[in-house]
Amino acid sequence: MPVGIFDSGLGGLTVFSEIRKRMPGQPLLYLGDNKHTPYGVRDAEDIYRLTVQNTQALFDRGCDLVILACNTASAVALKRMQETWIPKDKRVLGVFVPMIEAVSERMWGDNSPPREVTVNQLALFATPATVASRAFQRELSFRAIGVDVEAQPCGGLVDALEMNDLELAEAMVHSHVSALLRRMPKPDAAVLGCTHYPILEHVFQEALGPEISVYSQGKLVAASLEDYLQRHPEMVGAAGPTRCLTSGDPKDVSIAATRFLGHSVQFESLEG
């Protein structure tokens, strides 16, 4: 029984890679909806429809647990899915929870009143749809007080990374960081609220300055999944193959993924 990992494109591979490093024996099934990427510029109904469709595809292939390794899907679709759609014998987890836990310095199940935390000024870099949803700010406010969040919609950045145009992507990072720093000159920390962005974590850090802590999702999500599986051993799959599927052209996506991660990644067709 593999754990499913879904993303709108290549970004979730940053989570996929960290999970493989941390839990090499856990079978995984990655699905990238490269045919419809990016999600960050789509409306909420379209994001919900595509997320449900692709999550169902992973359920159909034997995954009882699916991680939405896409911040846009997690922000826009997950709550509605949990309330109205997910079968009782299945679980779908988002990538927001580990990040909220890290910033708020408390576990998700801690229902005590919100309290002050170390971070007071927080920069959030995310897709336009994630920023518009305000999901990160809403969930953080339930757990922490006194945190001023300044969000920067990074339009075009996912497209540049999917096309492997790193020169353009790096220029965009500097532009987006400059725009945010004009509104919040001295953030204590920054959240990379898209799983594509860790590929450019060093560029964000350079643009922000060495004194600003940068939260990136891959390691946090991998550690959170390991903890979840220890508490829910029925979701742990037996040893088996790890596969990567795409709704796009497998050859083109394999080439792009290999460039994206810097090592060979082979995709199969979702329709195969």
CA angle 4-52-98, nearest 5°? 55
Active site residue 194: yes
* Whole-angstrom distance, CA of residue 168 vs CA of residue 74: 27
* Contact partners, residue 15, CB within 8 Å, separation at least 6: 5, 7, 67, 69, 95, 195, 217, 218, 221, 222
For residue 256, the one-letter residue type is: A
Helices (H) and strands (E) in the chain, counts: 12, 12
Q: Do the Cβ atoms of 129 and 44 come closer than 8 Å?
A: yes
Q: Do the Cβ atoms of 238 and 3 come closer than 8 Å?
A: no
Q: Give the number of other Cβ atoms within 10 Å of residue 36's Cβ.
A: 18
- Closest to 147 in 3D by CA, of 196, 185, 104: 104
Catalytic one of 63, 70, 154, 244: 70
Active site residue 244: no
SS3 call for 128: helix
Active site residues: 70, 194
